[in-house]
Structure 1
């Protein structure tokens, strides 16, 4: 075949995904164009995934499985995609994200940076690129992080989206990330997010001082069956807690934090003022 690129599945997890895709596709007698048409993708997109130039998404993996008949099998592409993604996550994070996507209510408190569920693509990319420059992650892992954020945000647009309660430490708004235009767009998006019918955005101002009940970020989920769970991260690991005896006090503390934080109207006013102060 002309211009057929030799694949090296050992080069990276994404290269292994692409090599497997080529093997299964050709075993079924399909061209890239035929597979792309069945999935709603271009021939070029299929080629880019097979050669490792493009990172596969969850949506892509699921559609490959449907087109090739590998859904719900041990060799499914969705399963391989999840294994790739989990390789760059802290312990507990994959399970948390699976629960987050099905939750009825999400409560989160973040310090220092805008949380992933509310990040614009440009803001997320800037943070990921910063981590690459520090040497803490690879460029491939940076791409995975940005894609993970996009995948998590998809759950907020489902037919019955969860209620999302957000309390941002004031540092999330005042810490510049990237060029002023990136920060400006991020602040504008926070205002738009606060205007949704299923969201509540509040700012915990610096002057709360010792009254602040949390020193570190915290995520609390309420599942459709009203089960509670919490998730928190340290530098080296994440911890998912399903025990109501330990999660209930966190929920109480979160309610106290909401009572101490600025109202949504005052929070949006602060965000607007900061946005106007950026070029």
Structure 2
């Protein structure tokens, strides 16, 4: 598998940032637009328009570029930001997405929804549709979210720890077959050496993060930032004092959670409750 690459562009506007990264990667590879087109099987003029910011292309094109340049998930993350620049992505979330692509380690806590990095296509589609997306836009966003999973699958994938509230796992998808696939994927991911999965059971009682989805990112320069999110807003937090408070709350929740082996058994027990044939 290819190695990850960090975002080095400086443009703040997502569409320009995406185009800038495409130009930089091609210049670094030392190839022409025509050579890229011949290698990937698309008209080379498409890549020229993407590098000029005239078009964003589709997720399948961007995924092919991610593979070609050895940047798993990076370009898709930037593409997702650019395609949503005028809708649901606020400036802080845009910045968070770029930082996520650079992170050397990640710690996560989920209140009600699985993190995008661990979602299957069926899960992502239902969650995004519930948020109002539909049609081609929905399909593109599902494809982009699936591309972000490459962040955890590269040869140098960063360590990722997630704590899932039991409520996350007690809220199944409408389609039992898709829910089974999601639980199977969680059980598989929990076995990876770079991923640690905890379940916080209802029996743990009240806890300090009961209304906050949280992600910590350790960056290449040694800094840690956090992104918190609820139903109404998201905040990127970089100041030391609130970061320290969040870290203490996260550590307390981790101490209350099941161990990774216990958590995997919990997921498998839920899997046993899902019928193999959704019609039965």
Same-fold call, TM cutoff 0.5: yes
**Residue matched to 1:12:** none
Tell me the CA shift for residue 143 of structure 1.
2.7
Instruction: Give runs of ≥4 in structure 1 deviating > 4 Å.
Output: 34-37, 49-57, 60-65, 78-82
> Which of residues 134, 138, 151 in structure 1 aligns to 2:147?
151
Structure 1 residues 173-188: aligned runs within 5 Å? 173-188=169-184
* Contact 1:107 1:166 (8 Å CA) reproduced: yes
Q: Does the residue aligned with 2:221 lie in a helix, a strand or coil? A: coil
**Residue matched to 2:197:** 201
Tell me the CA shift for residue 128 of structure 1.
2.4
Q: Deviations over 1:14-71 (max 9, x none)?
A: xxxxxxxxxxxxxxxxxxxx7885241367xx7xx99999555534567999xxxxxx
Tell me the CA shift for residue 82 of structure 1.
4.5
**Residue matched to 1:87:** 86
TM-score, structure 1 length as denominator?
0.71
* Contact 2:58 2:140 (8 Å CA) reproduced: no
Q: Does the residue aligned with 2:160 lie in a helix, a strand or coil? A: strand
> Which of residues 62, 85, 99 in structure 2 aligns to 1:58?
62
For residues 212 and 220 of structure 2, what CA distance do their matches in structure 1 show?
26
* Contact 1:61 1:81 (8 Å CA) reproduced: no
Structure 1 residues 37-76: aligned runs within 5 Å? 37-41=37-41, 55=59, 57-60=61-64
C-alpha spacing 1:209/1:98, structure 2 compared with 1 (3 Å): same
Instruction: Kindly report the root-mean-square deviation, in angstroms, between the aligned alpha carbons of the 2 structures.
Output: 3.4
* Contact 1:202 1:262 (8 Å CA) reproduced: yes
Q: Does the residue aligned with 1:218 lie in a helix, a strand or coil? A: strand
**Residue matched to 1:115:** 115
Tell me the CA shift for residue 146 of structure 1.
1.2
For residues 215 and 55 of structure 1, what CA distance do their matches in structure 2 show?
33
Q: Does the residue aligned with 2:89 lie in a helix, a strand or coil? A: coil
TM-score, structure 2 length as denominator?
0.70
Tell me the CA shift for residue 214 of structure 1.
3.6
For residues 244 and 97 of structure 2, what CA distance do their matches in structure 1 show?
20
**Residue matched to 2:11:** none
C-alpha spacing 1:80/1:53, structure 2 compared with 1 (3 Å): closer
Tell me the CA shift for residue 159 of structure 1.
2.9
Count of residue correspondences: 229
- Structure 1 stretch 89-98 or stretch 99-108: which is displaced more? 89-98
**Residue matched to 1:17:** none
**Residue matched to 2:138:** 142
**Residue matched to 1:125:** 125
Point out the structure with max Rg over C-alpha: 1
Residue segments in structure 2 that go unaligned for 5+ positions in a row: 1-33, 70-76, 276-280
C-alpha spacing 1:35/1:143, structure 2 compared with 1 (3 Å): farther
Tell me the CA shift for residue 208 of structure 1.
1.9
Structure 1 residues 254-273: aligned runs within 5 Å? 254-273=250-269
